[in-house]
Amino acid sequence: MRGTMPFSYFPRGSAGKLLEAERLKRRTRQDIAMIREFGFCSGIENYSRHFDRRQPGEPPYTLLDYFKACDKDFLTIIDESHVTVPQIGGMYTGDRSRKNTLVEHGFRLPSAVDNRPLKFDEFEKRVGQTIYTSATPGQYELSRSGKPVEQVIRPTGLVDPEIIVRPIVGGVPRTVLKGAQGPSSVPGNYQGQVKDFIAEAELVTKRGGRSMVTVLTKKMAEDLAAYLAEKHIKARYVHSDVKTIERIEILRDFRKGVFDVLVGVNLLREGLDLPEVELVGILDADKEGFLRSDTSLIQTIGRAARNVRGRVLLYADAVTGSMERAIGETNRRREIQIAYNKKHKITPKTIEKRIHDIVGDIERTRKRAVSELTKIDSTAFGGDTAKLVREKRRQMHEAADRLDFETAALIRDEIRVLEGKAKT
């Protein structure tokens, strides 16, 4: 092993870093022992430069290299490119920052930095013809594509939602909203953005629809959800601190009608397909920045475009440049869609979409697998449950020793089923 893989070097100038040097030595030797014994260790990808025989700084091999070797004219499709392209550019920098910290404190060899994403220029060299898909393409895509191909007409006949602009605080004169390209409707007893949204959301709930509202911070999302609950409105919030599985469950319950109002920050933009949503509220829409840029506003407005009753409420005391562009672009698309529907006598229809219970599907698949394994093993052991359980425990410990924890967990569940049957 030592003759083929240069694991035995340590950072130079480690004087004064005795703890880091000792930590690195122990970690590396332990990993080598694991690789010798099992052919694997935790974090084995950090040694990829040695396995690949790459020089320091050389880019890693990726699936793109395989595609290019097979067919130089392969096609790359980048979905939601306005988000994906900047992420491609940012992955290397973020990964390098984290790896530098691990190397500096002796958790990884310096060669670990070469287990990394591609740099943006390296990515560009590996892709040829590319299709960028986005409702709000960025400057990079536009500069490389020429005139974009638009798909404004929807098969369902649905049109982009009506946009209504209202003040943030109560008592603001209508002249503040002069110049808004969307209709502005302010009731005589207007009490501000939160109470106005509540009143509109209650009307939607009575019709059996759902409402979404976006705010600027996680704390505001949590506070607004709590305030809505105090007002006897069933509401939940989602933001980046909410774990993925919980987020999926929240969106599923939202569609099922377990609650009526979803509060969010930035997660209510791309990729959410919620046809039950009739109303989208954007609080503090005039606070220029990333969350209230024209791109973000257009994407958020699009969440109401899956329902024939879709409407968007923009709450602002002044019309910003981002608001003007977002309202103008939405109205442009809306006019094209309405004209097309009128010409072809199309009646818009709300999207019908099955509610997927991803978490439930995973659990049901697992239970089915355990049940089938139990039947097969019971037959093989002639119904001797005690003997089968002993054998399964041996297999479980063996799998755990191999660090195959998924198999070990599956066998553990099988043992529980067998023991449960033995008691009955």
Q: What is the pTM of this model?
A: 0.72
Residue 382: predicted pLDDT? 83
Question: If DSSP states are collapsed to H, E and C, what string results for the chain?
Answer: CCCCCCCCCCCCCCCCCHHHHHHHHHHHHHHHHHHHHHCCCCCHHHHHHHHHCCCCCCCCCCHHHHHHHHCCCCCEEEECHHHHHHHHHHHHHHHHHHHHHHHHCCCCCHHHHHCCCCCHHHHHHHCCCEEEECCCCCHHHHHHHCCCCCCCCCCCCCCCCEEEEECCCCCCCHHHHCCCCCCCCCCCCCCCHHHHHHHHHHHHHHCCCEEEEECCCHHHHHHHHHHHHHCCCCEEEECCCCCHHHHHHHHHHHHHCCCCEEEECCCCCCCCCCCCEEEEEECCCCCCCHHHCHHHHHHHHHHHCCCCCCEEEEECCCCCHHHHHHHHHHHHHHHHHHHHHHHHCCCCCCCCCCCCCHHHHHHHHHHHHHHHHHHHHHHHCCCCHHHHHHHHHHHHHHHHHCCCHHHHHHHHHHHHHHHHHHHC
Tokens of 152: 């404004």
Give the whole-number percent of the chain exceeding pLDDT 90: 56
Residues 6+ apart with CB under 8 A from 272: 251, 303
pLDDT confidence of 226, banded at 50, 70, 90? very high
Q: What is the mean pLDDT of residues 40-69?
A: 92
Two domains, one topology: 18-145 and 162-344? yes
- Assigned CATH class of 162-344: alpha beta
* Three-class DSSP category at 350: coil
Q: What is the mean pLDDT of residues 216-229?
A: 95
The yes-or-no verdict on residue 25 having pLDDT over 60 is yes
* Mean pLDDT computed over every residue of the chain: 87
Q: Give domain limits for the chain.
A: 18-145, 162-344, 358-419
Q: Taking the domain 18-145, which CATH number applies?
A: 3.40.50.300
Residue 186: predicted pLDDT? 59
Q: Which of 32, 31, 11 is nearest to 21 (CA)?
A: 11
Residue 362: predicted pLDDT? 73
Range of weakest confidence among 4-8, 41-45, 239-243, 321-325: 4-8
pLDDT confidence of 238, banded at 50, 70, 90? very high
